[in-house]
Structure 1
């Protein structure tokens, strides 16, 4: 049997965090201290003033399809209901789940328990006393994933239409190899034409943890997503709470004020839409290089971004203005 060690974490200034509450509070600092590098919109509450037209209720077939998508062997959330139990549901249980989903759909309000997250700390490498050497995973209710899958399926076509061709993250049939190959081809074409070109690589710090919620909702509204579904996503993010599990104990719940939700299937897509709006507001299309008769200004994979400039002056201008 492998012996597990219990480590004591240090405070920001290097002092020892000497009790459970202090240690877990220290672990919770990371995501809340990060800020997204570009502030494009005014940070104000996004509201939908017009009367909201309700989207059609979820069909029981949508519920069944969502349950089938749940993955086996995944740790449950704080409700301790495993996905295997939900996937083994008979007709009566599925009917009850469908009724609950319809009730949530009509009220546009998520159950409090479905919004709670359990955060688990996993040691990566280095000094185990340094909380910077840990990564977090968030466990959410498998019940909530049923509703999330239904919402995602309703949004997929619209999401695909809003994202630029340059974005390959979280899209079917695309991967990092496509982006690397594209960059390699562009470099070869520039060399063949005896021209100069500059590539600016952008690495966002804690990008997923730094998304401003009000700006996210404003983005969805500006892009014309169904108001009903926007309100449901707002409800999911409003007053969401988490607790950290550490040494088989849990902290008191705390509110999550920034970032897309860890462990949530909507999060990668919401993040892509958020960064899509950043690229639109930044007007990156004024920069770029000509390849095969087409001007290419950027290539993206999730939060990894490569921007292209035709010369040093253009590259410097972009950096200075952004």
Structure 2
């Protein structure tokens, strides 16, 4: 097609241009290096100002040229940001060589056990393996298939129109802008950066080509061919199965798949069960890890024997049969229009294996979803969902004594990658690791307190990770997800069961509306005990009036953060013993007007009705007229509590007992708990945990010497942006902190 011919011409032009530029750059680099060496000798021997100036000029030009070379090495070394490295150093340029050597295949073992070391033999062995892997084994068995398709959820009818709508230029452009720059291109050699730069020129042509392809049912040849590059995994690398294939796809193909993936993502939660978190929006792998942790905790405390089974499917993505996938999509109720669009991506596709830098002959891929395609994860989730659906229909689950049955499905989990998010580390481990990190940062002398290094760059710090704050931020994120996350969180019932053991109160969500200082947490696991300690690092502010009947009835009256209980500890203890802890329980005993003090006194076995009456009057005065009306309507049967109501909104601020220049919160605007990001949690907690060290410090040591006002502040962020180099920015950062080493000590 003309589209493929055009891409070939563009690739040839770019290759020729790059060849010429690289040759000229190498020649200039060698010449500059010679001149710099000669000028350095002249400047050292004569000391003449003219030679020194020329030497500085040539050195600057050499540095700029090395910077251009570093950009190429950056892409080939697969580092995303040159700021991460002290480029252009020997170590930096060595990354490119190291990355290439790591992917070299020096030998392979054949099926017969023979060790192959010749390049031709290695290529032939690898190609035969993947030809066999991608050869279809599909056999139609309608009766067996039907038993798997029964009872599956379907895509809502109202979503079909959007799913199968015609491809639009807006969708393509949004997909392009969301693609990362610097990624490896497909077989046509044209990366996403090329399309971003020339979108006004080629955007309409690409839209026309993709629309024609969807209507004709066949993509251009370059889109159908993927370069299969192999990355080493764990294990014996002489076994071809221990190399992971990744498909390098052309950008135009990836744009189409990204548009379809964006559409498909919107309906995944309707067809994928709640216990499957892979590639489903608003679900996290930590949901599965949290469920595992809490089930182990609860079963251990109740003396239940429990085991976990982890299943690992070999070459899972590569074994998905296309015909099975189309039938599965149809069984989930996807429209024929959307299925046809996805089929175009997999019709007559081929793979070209890349071994040790050389491309092999293309071969047909009759099955498998391409790792590198935006759709692949969701397609695999849909494909495996039938198996999981069948398992769920057979599993009986288990029951905890005294608790309702909890069906545990899909507890298949990889290693606990985010241990800090789900478990408490051993005592002193974080502090030891933190000390090693700070030592590595300074490489001997600690010129600035580490508490300053933990601050974000825009506040004069270096953004060095404070491990204790990172762990605390994960805990706050857990609370946020527990209270305000999706209604179908798979681990929430187990977490409730664990939280209800806190202080023997039998409360879960309502605990986070209470003041828990002084409450015994002995019967909680280390994770949940630490959870409430972290929760205490924040101050909470809530609206005076609650508009939800559900949460109004669950408002704590003991240790409440809203209702002031001006009575002694003995009365509070009696309320806890009689399980009268929330406003709804008080209303059940005393009526909607909270006026039956005698009944409550009798329930609490108290002689003094007057004390109870004063307590009820105090609670009633703290309720607004609208809240009293809600309670009256509820008691009269006119209104029922809705358990789908959102958790009461609150604003959270760091509990700072001291003031200081570096403890201000001017860079933070969103303190709404339900929408706070993990980054905001982290930086707020960092200030709380380091406040004793930050309260006496100012942003720059020059403030008093220069007589700066509070409004006059350094532009710290500018030190980390071009045109400043990393080394230059670090030097200016040290100057502002007055920490320049002069190789002399003043006693």
Asked if the contact 2:181–2:193 (Cα under 8 Å) also holds between the matched residues in 1, the reply is yes
Asked if the contact 1:241–1:253 (Cα under 8 Å) also holds between the matched residues in 2, the reply is yes
Distance in 2 between residues matched to 1:56 and 1:40, nearest whole Å: 31
Task: Name the TM-score, length of structure 2 as normaliser.
Answer: 0.36
Aligned to 2:603: none
1:141-197 CA-to-partner distances (Å, cap 9, x unmatched) read: 111111111111222222221010001112334333321121111122223333344
- Partner of residue 68 from structure 1, selected from 169, 173, 177: 177
1:52-75 CA-to-partner distances (Å, cap 9, x unmatched) read: x99321222111111112211111
Distance in 1 between residues matched to 2:414 and 2:255, nearest whole Å: 27
Task: Name the TM-score, length of structure 1 as normaliser.
Answer: 0.79
Distance in 2 between residues matched to 1:99 and 1:275, nearest whole Å: 35
Q: Indicate how the Cα distance of structure 1 residues 301 and 84 shifts in structure 2: closer, same or farther if over 3 A, else same.
A: farther
- Partner of residue 115 from structure 1, selected from 213, 217, 224: 224
Does residue 324 of structure 2 align to residue 215 of structure 1?
yes
Aligned to 1:151: 260
1:16-71 CA-to-partner distances (Å, cap 9, x unmatched) read: 436544322322415844999xx996599xxxxxxxx9932122211111111221
Q: Indicate how the Cα distance of structure 1 residues 255 and 231 shifts in structure 2: closer, same or farther if over 3 A, else same.
A: same
Q: Indicate how the Cα distance of structure 1 residues 116 and 300 shifts in structure 2: closer, same or farther if over 3 A, else same.
A: farther
Distance in 2 between residues matched to 1:195 and 1:34, nearest whole Å: 45
Distance in 2 between residues matched to 1:282 and 1:59, nearest whole Å: 40
- Partner of residue 398 from structure 2, selected from 282, 289, 294: 289
1:225-268 CA-to-partner distances (Å, cap 9, x unmatched) read: 12112122223223211111123321111111222112111010
Aligned to 1:309: none
Aligned to 1:86: 195
Number of corresponding residues: 295
Distance in 2 between residues matched to 1:104 and 1:85, nearest whole Å: 22
Asked if the contact 1:260–1:271 (Cα under 8 Å) also holds between the matched residues in 2, the reply is yes
Aligned to 2:376: 267
Aligned to 1:11: 110
1:74-118 CA-to-partner distances (Å, cap 9, x unmatched) read: 111101111101111242321222222222233333223212110
Give 5+ residue unaligned stretches, structure 1: 45-52, 305-322
Which range moved further: 175-184 or 210-219?
Answer: 175-184
Asked if the contact 2:310–2:413 (Cα under 8 Å) also holds between the matched residues in 1, the reply is no
Distance in 1 between residues matched to 2:324 and 2:251, nearest whole Å: 27
Which range moved further: 136-145 or 266-275?
Answer: 136-145
Give 5+ residue unaligned stretches, structure 2: 1-93, 146-160, 416-747
Asked if the contact 2:214–2:344 (Cα under 8 Å) also holds between the matched residues in 1, the reply is no
Which range moved further: 97-106 or 282-291?
Answer: 282-291
Q: Indicate how the Cα distance of structure 1 residues 284 and 187 shifts in structure 2: closer, same or farther if over 3 A, else same.
A: farther
Secondary structure of the equivalent of 1:298?
coil
Secondary structure of the equivalent of 1:272?
helix
Higher helix share: 2
Which range moved further: 116-125 or 26-35?
Answer: 26-35
- Partner of residue 166 from structure 2, selected from 57, 60, 76: 57
Q: Mapping of 1:1-322 within 5 angstroms?
A: 2=97, 4=101, 7-17=106-116, 19-28=118-127, 29=129, 32-33=132-133, 42=142, 55-124=164-233, 129-284=238-393, 286-290=395-399, 293=404, 295-300=406-411
Aligned to 2:468: none
Distance in 2 between residues matched to 1:284 and 1:164, nearest whole Å: 12
Distance in 2 between residues matched to 1:31 and 1:170, nearest whole Å: 28
Which range moved further: 242-251 or 87-96?
Answer: 87-96
Which range moved further: 218-227 or 238-247?
Answer: 238-247
Distance in 1 between residues matched to 2:105 and 2:277, nearest whole Å: 41
Deviation, structure 1 residue 138: 1.6
Secondary structure of the equivalent of 1:203?
coil
Distance in 1 between residues matched to 2:308 and 2:232, nearest whole Å: 34
Q: Indicate how the Cα distance of structure 1 residues 55 and 258 shifts in structure 2: closer, same or farther if over 3 A, else same.
A: closer
Q: Indicate how the Cα distance of structure 1 residues 41 and 150 shifts in structure 2: closer, same or farther if over 3 A, else same.
A: farther
| Higher RCO (CA-CA < 8 Å; seq separation 6+) | 1
Asked if the contact 1:7–1:128 (Cα under 8 Å) also holds between the matched residues in 2, the reply is no
> Aligned-pair RMSD on alpha carbons?
3.3
Q: Indicate how the Cα distance of structure 1 residues 271 and 10 shifts in structure 2: closer, same or farther if over 3 A, else same.
A: same
Asked if the contact 2:116–2:122 (Cα under 8 Å) also holds between the matched residues in 1, the reply is yes
Distance in 1 between residues matched to 2:274 and 2:140, nearest whole Å: 22
Q: Indicate how the Cα distance of structure 1 residues 204 and 108 shifts in structure 2: closer, same or farther if over 3 A, else same.
A: same
**Structure number with bigger Rg:** 2
Distance in 1 between residues matched to 2:210 and 2:414, nearest whole Å: 32
Which range moved further: 267-276 or 5-14?
Answer: 5-14
